[in-house]
Structure 1
């Protein structure tokens, strides 16, 4: 029994030695450091928060209220119970970190150096056997037990004897050289970074309790907190029930005043709806205050929560917040927190259904809710303005929109505002917001077809619509004339640049290249150093090559004209000319008047990152970034062709949108809308006229052979199902147009145009 107990004790001791307490301490310190660094940074930011800044310097009542709400929300988040609990946890972790650090520092961790018998005998490595014997005799006189009976001397003498034996005995020396130790191979100790008390019998209850707490309490608690956080983040998502409602109710011609009720019917509002007995009477009073011209005559839905949400949204856009009771105002705040997400869900739906009218109407609704004004009240976006001020402005200055108000200039606005008894602070707010409203943004467009020859728009082809933001500020005659002069100078520079490239060969002809080469080969002193002389000679040789290639190109061009007059095929000559052009362009890059290679570094395009702009929206609590929507489509057919979005409207900024041209040739007129989702009265649109011609190279599917084990009729049906409607069997007349007529010389042309002239001719014939 005692033997078994001793065996168990040895086994338990061996397992205990495998568990390294010091390594476990270091691992805990490293893990705590990973958690504590970001947690401490978060705590510092919470304790010393930054001052809540205003994106637009305005002191109107709405901005003050909005700023106070943001400050209050920040204070509530810092003073919440959850925040205090997090602070306590961070403090506990720091205490645990220093306690473990103190314990780890108390562990005696020593690193053993490799055994070296020469060092024990105070010799250098590689000492001879005579030197080893001499050192051994010398140290023996000092540390021999007969000479020195102390314990230290005894241990030292054992080490000296062991080193002497290792350096004099051949067998021991062989072990020393092979294993680095005279005793042969030594065991390697590897420990596990876990505390040794985990396998102690006496601590089994504690270990089991820790496992139970981790599995039964901590894991479910983490799942609960994660689920709670997910539900909080679900505010940014639209439920499937709401998307289904939008799909069935929003039709292709619904206006934004009708969409208000549809957005108010979202399922998310129903889940948070609180019905009070007094709401009905209060809502009737609010509805009576809404102007009749802006509300629907008859509600589509009869649920109480939809009725309530719709009236509150009408009241918000009509700016009759004073008619809303404090409890209804809290409900309105909850509605406004989700309304942008609901509008975005409806927007994504109608975008996929390719309706342009609902897209435009939803952007208008976003403008109206953001600015708390209807689409015919753009001047209400200016702070401190009311209906009386707007009426006086229209009567005195004939101004009824933002563009005309900006056109008055600072002096004209100041004159009117002073006469209307506005204070200096109010005037400062008006000027600051007026400068931020981008009502002077316009667009210009280009259509890229991908054809390098001509911008011919073919049917069923992919084109790129490039929309560029421009400054549409109304300018005086002098400013317009100055811009015209600048444009002329720009065009002249472009022409001169093209002429300089095109006439490079003629400039070469006017110079006596052979004479230059002879002078450079000569030995007269012309003031040039050898390096510049070599570069000048290289440029002259290249110029001579350009001249020779230009002559060859002119000869081939003349032969091409003669062949073309006879009706022969000239496609090969075109390929040669293009190759020559490529060679010429490559050579011209090295033809320079400068002696320095650094003068020809590629120009770096400067990219200025503009600051993110925010909307002046004093009647909504959240900060809304400014963005622009570019909608391209046919309003008559209610067809959305392409849609793009941009956040920067600086002049020169462009956005590219790809679209598919109609499959039928003809003339088409489309509308290109530029709409701001945050301000009213900043929208614009232009008509885009497209002259679509028949595509000479229509898309053709490869022929499919019948499977030997499948009937031909079944395979034909599958082929028709796989083919898109746009490229199924074409009319016979269209197929005849695709086959080009025979050439004048009797040789048939290929199906694909071989050169530029044939492409132009095919386009004209179509």
Structure 2
């Protein structure tokens, strides 16, 4: 019997604390590294043109510096991590100094030096036994346990047999089974603290744990794919259909569940400000379908961004708009997924185009040239007049720099920004091919697995390089260039729609589908940018399928036909099980039946002559049993009679 100590608890506590502080410190160091040591490229704060400088400055303010760590979550986690780290160090040094799990040491129990003489042992035993005697410590289990340990220690040092057992096995009672210590602190096992322990256990198990589980479940159950709330998906399903137009999508996005708490107007001043902004952007808006304050506020703020009227926003409403734009990309992707589920190609394409307008801060009737830095409607109008004229962004990019219109009032630096932007804007070449995998025949038959391979080549990206960030100075967050590839029927049904996010110069995206029944088909292939307006590509994909009955008859090779007749592995296993079951049933029969069966089994391996001899012997036995005569002669006569019969 060993006295319980805290050594095992130290190891258990170290293990559990390590599980928390290691990932926590990793998270803290990562955030500090981003805040203090990250480069501008790491956070997307690059300024390739002067138009991007303000955006880069704002990104640095929000992503770099100690002020970015001034959040409640980070501070709470940092304090808890420091506290747990201090506890970890205390436990570590405790293990170093007294980390050996308690073992039976009679000298330590009697509180004497190792190797003490018998006189000193007896003196210590007498002193401690009187101190912890049960008669002097009634109703004290701890004193009783200590008294027993003192007696065992004295016995281990004075009794030759007990001493030998202790030296050999570490226990005066001899070899013992393995004992495992409990990883709990000693004070929890103290009888005096049992009420406190039970109360603490009750509070933790009945209050703390259920509340933590409920909090986690209530928060996590609100979110679906891509961390978009289920209420947002329900809202999109209700408002998106095949007749949805692009101009109605700002209101749909404004009603997302993620914005409802943020966009709740809390004072009359907020309502008045929204009214003033509405007056500025009303000409760009479709008549609202919902007059709910939350939806109306979000709708107005989004139109202020699209109409480039953000200069009228206060700091508070500006932060609200920034919050909406932060989550706009993932929410628009969720809107596209809902359209995909509804198989509505037109609505999905409108959602993609809406994402382009949000990225560039422009709206439906705006000129595509407004994507160029410093351009306004005035410069766009000049560029569309005269020769060479350019009404689209692609036409303007194709014009040599010295011949570009609309640059008369710009400085050399501003002109350089425009030329630089034209180099950044995508120059995409699209090629498509329809084929059937592993098919030597060029014909496509009903039910074949068809592949439409779409090859995207970025001509503005050099060999070995990758596409950079989108040039979107009015969108306050960095965006990666991506392309939506959609294949649909002429009736407007979606066959496939995927977002290609690879930044490589050449990207091949494959769309697979089963060939329809015999006939000639035309499909619409769309390649749309996720962030640029005017670079969308559309082409027709033709497919002619033939009836499967026109396929040549398939002839089975003779070797393959023989393989079909062979039993499968499953059939062999089943036959083996059946034979095993029959053998077990035979073992349960009588001894006489076993003898007969063993003889029958042996007959299968005998010749015809041996078979006749066996039949003759069996006939003799039967005749002898019937007549009750054991003589050989009688057996012979009985056999003859049997044969005669």
Indicate the TM-score class for this superposition, using the shorter chain for normalisation. Answer: 0.5 to 0.7
Distance in 1 between residues matched to 2:61 and 2:521, nearest whole Å: 54
Partner of 2:497, secondary structure, is strand
Q: Decide which of 431, 456, 463 is 2:443's aligned counterpart.
A: 456
1:675 Cα offset (Å): 0.6
Distance in 1 between residues matched to 2:99 and 2:531, nearest whole Å: 68
Distance in 2 between residues matched to 1:435 and 1:632, nearest whole Å: 29
Q: Equivalences for 1:353-372 in 2 at 5 Å?
A: 353-372=342-361
CA spacing shift, 1:206–1:70, aligned 2, 3 Å: farther
Give yes or no for the alignment of 1:672 onto 2:525: yes
Q: Decide which of 637, 642, 648 is 2:502's aligned counterpart.
A: 648
- Which of 387-396 and 86-95 deviates more? 387-396
1:364 Cα offset (Å): 0.4
Q: Is the 8 A contact 2:367 2:377 kept in 1?
A: no
CA spacing shift, 1:235–1:351, aligned 2, 3 Å: closer
Q: Which residue of 2 aligns with 1:100?
A: 91
Q: Decide which of 194, 214, 219 is 2:204's aligned counterpart.
A: 214
Distance in 1 between residues matched to 2:191 and 2:169, nearest whole Å: 40
Q: Is the 8 A contact 1:235 1:338 kept in 2?
A: no
Distance in 2 between residues matched to 1:687 and 1:384, nearest whole Å: 37
Q: Which residue of 2 aligns with 1:624?
A: 479
Partner of 2:450, secondary structure, is strand
Q: Decide which of 592, 609, 614 is 2:469's aligned counterpart.
A: 614
Partner of 1:252, secondary structure, is coil
Give yes or no for the alignment of 1:44 onto 2:33: no
Greater relative CO, 1 or 2 (CA 8 Å, sep 6+): 1
Give yes or no for the alignment of 1:683 onto 2:510: no
Deviations 1:475-512 (A, max 9, x none): xxxxxxxxxxxxxxxxxxxxxxxxxxxxxxxxxxxxxx
Q: Is the 8 A contact 1:26 1:104 kept in 2?
A: yes
Distance in 2 between residues matched to 1:753 and 1:270, nearest whole Å: 66
Q: How many residues align?
A: 492
Q: Is the 8 A contact 1:445 1:465 kept in 2?
A: yes
Q: Decide which of 445, 452, 465 is 2:432's aligned counterpart.
A: 445
Q: Equivalences for 1:336-735 in 2 at 5 Å?
A: 336-375=325-364, 377-395=367-385, 397-409=388-400, 419-422=408-411, 424=413, 426=414, 429-438=417-426, 440-450=427-437, 452-471=439-458, 613-635=468-490, 637-648=491-502, 650-663=504-517, 665-696=518-549
Q: Which residue of 1 aligns with 2:151?
A: none
CA spacing shift, 1:662–1:431, aligned 2, 3 Å: same
Q: Is the 8 A contact 1:57 1:432 kept in 2?
A: no
1:151 Cα offset (Å): 5.1
Distance in 1 between residues matched to 2:276 and 2:486, nearest whole Å: 39
Distance in 1 between residues matched to 2:290 and 2:237, nearest whole Å: 16
Distance in 2 between residues matched to 1:385 and 1:44, nearest whole Å: 43
Distance in 2 between residues matched to 1:61 and 1:28, nearest whole Å: 55
Q: Is the 8 A contact 2:265 2:293 kept in 1?
A: no
- Structure-2-length-normalised TM-score: 0.65
Q: Which residue of 2 aligns with 1:53?
A: 40
Q: Which residue of 2 aligns with 1:707?
A: none
Distance in 1 between residues matched to 2:524 and 2:331, nearest whole Å: 27
Distance in 2 between residues matched to 1:61 and 1:195, nearest whole Å: 64
- Structure-1-length-normalised TM-score: 0.55
Deviations 1:374-432 (A, max 9, x none): 3553222222322233333334652333333433456666x975x533353x4554455
CA spacing shift, 1:188–1:751, aligned 2, 3 Å: closer
Distance in 1 between residues matched to 2:402 and 2:508, nearest whole Å: 34
CA spacing shift, 1:625–1:421, aligned 2, 3 Å: closer
CA spacing shift, 1:101–1:670, aligned 2, 3 Å: closer
Partner of 2:524, secondary structure, is strand
1:373 Cα offset (Å): 1.2
- Which of 358-367 and 615-624 deviates more? 615-624
Deviations 1:125-166 (A, max 9, x none): xxxxxxxxxxxxxxxxxxxxxxxxx959x99xxxxxxxxxxx
Q: Is the 8 A contact 1:52 1:71 kept in 2?
A: no
Task: Give unmatched runs, 5+ long, in structure 1.
Answer: 1-13, 113-149, 156-171, 475-606, 697-737, 741-749, 756-766
Distance in 2 between residues matched to 1:629 and 1:379, nearest whole Å: 22
Distance in 1 between residues matched to 2:195 and 2:471, nearest whole Å: 64
Q: Which residue of 2 aligns with 1:85?
A: 76
CA spacing shift, 1:341–1:645, aligned 2, 3 Å: closer
Deviations 1:193-213 (A, max 9, x none): 433333222333553454355
Q: Decide which of 273, 283, 286 is 2:264's aligned counterpart.
A: 273
Partner of 1:686, secondary structure, is strand
Partner of 2:40, secondary structure, is coil
Q: Equivalences for 1:6-17 in 2 at 5 Å?
A: 14=1, 17=2
1:316 Cα offset (Å): 1.6
Partner of 1:690, secondary structure, is strand
Partner of 1:362, secondary structure, is helix
CA spacing shift, 1:282–1:208, aligned 2, 3 Å: closer
Partner of 1:322, secondary structure, is helix
CA spacing shift, 1:40–1:691, aligned 2, 3 Å: closer
Partner of 1:653, secondary structure, is strand
CA spacing shift, 1:104–1:327, aligned 2, 3 Å: closer
Q: Is the 8 A contact 1:667 1:689 kept in 2?
A: yes
Partner of 2:11, secondary structure, is helix
Task: Give unmatched runs, 5+ long, in structure 2.
Answer: 104-115, 122-160, 558-645
Distance in 2 between residues matched to 1:203 and 1:248, nearest whole Å: 60
Q: Decide which of 166, 189, 192 is 2:182's aligned counterpart.
A: 192
Partner of 1:674, secondary structure, is strand
Q: Is the 8 A contact 2:466 2:503 kept in 1?
A: no
Q: Equivalences for 1:158-197 in 2 at 5 Å?
A: 186-187=175-176, 190=179, 191-197=181-187
Q: Which residue of 2 aligns with 1:728?
A: none
1:20 Cα offset (Å): 4.0
CA spacing shift, 1:232–1:612, aligned 2, 3 Å: farther
Q: Which residue of 2 aligns with 1:204?
A: 194
Deviations 1:69-123 (A, max 9, x none): 56336655512344333322222222222322333333284999xxxxxxxxxxx
